[in-house]
Amino acid sequence: MASSVQRKRIRKAPAARRAEIVDAAAAVALGEGLECVTLQRIADELDVRPGLISHYFGTAEDLVAEAFGAATGAELDVLLPEERTGGTCTEHLARFFALAAGPEFDRLSRLWINAWHLRGSRPVLNERVLERETAWRTRLESLVREGVARGEFRTDDPYVTTLQIIVVLDGLGAHANTDTSYRPEAVARMAVTVAEQGLGLARGALGPVGSAASE
Partner DNA sequence: GATGATATTGAGTGTGCCACCAATAAGCAA
Partner DNA sequence: TTGCTTATTGGTGGCACACTCAATATCATC
Which of DNA, its own copies, none does residue 48 bind to, with CB < 5 to 8 Å depending on kind? DNA
Count of beta carbons in the 10 Å neighbourhood of residue 7: 10
Residue 54 or residue 164: which is nearer to DNA going by CB?
Answer: 54
- Cα separation, 101 vs 73, in Å, equals 19
For the chain, report the end-to-end CA distance as a whole number of angstroms: 70
Which of its own copies, DNA, none does residue 147 bind to, with CB < 5 to 8 Å depending on kind? none
Which of DNA, its own copies, none does residue 7 bind to, with CB < 5 to 8 Å depending on kind? DNA
Count of beta carbons in the 10 Å neighbourhood of residue 83: 5
Residue 59 or residue 197: which is nearer to DNA going by CB?
Answer: 59
Instruction: Note whether 58 binds DNA by CB under 7 A.
Output: yes
Number of residues that bind DNA (CB under 7 A): 26
Question: At closest approach, how far in Å is the CB of 98 from its own copies?
Answer: 19
- Cα separation, 15 vs 30, in Å, equals 22
Question: At closest approach, how far in Å is the CB of 58 from DNA?
Answer: 6
- Cα separation, 151 vs 57, in Å, equals 48
169-175: long-range contacts at Cβ-Cβ below 8 A with a sequence spacing of 24 or more?
169/100, 170/109, 170/112, 172/109, 173/105, 173/106, 173/108, 173/109, 173/110, 173/112, 173/113, 174/109, 174/113
Question: At closest approach, how far in Å is the CB of 126 from DNA?
Answer: 16
Instruction: Note whether 156 binds its own copies by CB under 8 A.
Output: yes
Instruction: Note whether 65 binds DNA by CB under 7 A.
Output: no
User: Which of 121-146 are b and which e, b meaning 16 or more Cβ less than 10 Å from the residue's Cβ?
Assistant: ebebbbebbeebeeebeebbbbbbbb
Site string for its own copies, 57-96 (x = CB under 8 A): ----------------------------------------
The site for its own copies (CB under 8 A) is made up of 33, 110, 112-114, 116-117, 119-121, 130, 133, 156-157, 159-160, 163-164, 166-175, 177-178, 183-184, 186-187, 190, 198, 214-215
